Amino acid sequence: MKFLRSRSVWLTIINLVVITALLYYLYSNADQYLGLLHLSATKILLILILSSTSPLLNGLINAYMFQSLGVKLNLKDGFFLAAASTLANELPVAGGIFAKGYYLKNRYNLSYTKYFSASLAFFVCIVAVNGGIGLVILSYWAVFKGTISSPFLWIGFGAMTAVLLVFLLPLKHGSIPGKIRLWIDRFLDGWMLISNNPRLLIKLIIFQTALMFVFAVRYWLSFHMVSQYVTFSQSVLFSSATVLTQLVSFAPGGLGVREAIVGSLSSVLGFSLQGSVAAVGLDRLISTTVTVLIGWPSIIILGNKIKDVRDLDKGKDF
């Protein structure tokens, strides 16, 4: 517990430093941003609507994936779980994946090991899929538009696609005795469930790709509101790359990381770094409103469900 408290303090300090640096950057460049802004009520409303669809798509992913793990998670609870975990990622210590695991453990007795291994396997898949989409866009530009993109983009998206090779690694663990063997067996159960179930995998990839396109439309709208006239294919490229923000557990909601990824990509493509940061910040500001409005009620609802299970277990003890 002492270690966890210490880690929480350090993570909070890091987050405060990141937030302070970002706010200072925005303040010092306020004149430039005000000159770029061309806000549109229609575009803001569209971003709000699109932000509301994200928990729905993530809810479908939750329901199908965890049902395959033996959890009786319906679509409604899948939606609540997606909304709650998204809000948890915005807290000082990003914890969406841990909050989701905690709920599934206490509500459905799903082991943490199986949960994390299945989530990791799915994450590997979506990174590879997004990397493949990035390579397709770069190839399209090269073949049909004659645009030769930076080699760094090819290397980056190629590396994302190549993570799929991890499924070719041998997973036999031999005759390991005791609890370690049990832990490894549970890990492999979750891992192999995703990698050896093509029908499930196709469904999850379809939903995740739809989610990626939702983010792409949001980026397109927010970029245009700050006078950065990106094409839709460029927005898809930004969206594909930002899946990597899920790797960063210490930054709430990928705060600063998403901006860095999109800013770097847009700079390579010839757009303004300041404008790109403003665009992602604008999208975050609008979408966070939806995250909070949907997330807090979802946390309360799921918390009551866990309480009901515990009360039921207590009643059985008497």
Instruction: Note down pLDDT in tens along the chain; length 318 residues.
Output: 443 344 445 555 655 665 566 566 666 766 665 666 677 888 989 999 999 999 999 999 999 988 888 888 888 999 999 988 888 776 655 567 788 888 888 888 888 888 888 888 888 888 899 999 999 999 999 998 888 788 888 999 999 999 888 777 665 555 555 555 565 666 666 667 766 778 888 888 899 899 999 999 999 999 998 888 899 999 999 999 888 776 554 445 556 677 778 888 888 888 888 788 888 888 888 888 888 889 888 988 888 888 877 666 655 555
Domain assignment present for 27 = no
Distant-in-sequence contacts of 205-212, Cβ < 8 A, 24+ apart: 205/125, 205/126, 205/129, 207/57, 207/60, 207/61, 207/64, 208/57, 208/61, 208/126, 208/129, 209/129, 209/133, 210/57, 211/54, 211/57, 211/58, 211/61, 212/130, 212/133, 212/236, 212/239, 212/240, 212/243
Contacts 24+ apart (CB under 8 A), 96-100: 97/249, 100/62
Residue 4 within any structural domain of the chain: no
Inside any domain, residue 95: yes
Split into its structural domains, the chain has a count of 1
Residue 223 domain flag: yes
Would you say 163 and 124 are in contact if contact means Cβ atoms under 8 Å apart?
Answer: yes
Given a contact cutoff of 8 angstroms between Cβ atoms, the answer to whether 265 and 153 are in contact is yes
Global confidence as pTM: 0.80
Would 229 be classed as within a structural domain? Answer: yes
Sequence letter at residue 312: L
- Alpha-carbon span 102 to 68, nearest angstrom: 18
In a domain, 12, yes or no: no
Cα–Cα dist 137/209, whole Å: 14
* Rounded CA Rg of the chain: 21
**What is the extent of the structural domain holding 187?**
40-317
- Is residue 24 one of the residues assigned to a domain? no
Residue 29 lies in a domain: no
* 171: nearest Cα among 208, 121, 125: 121
Residues in the chain, how many? Answer: 318
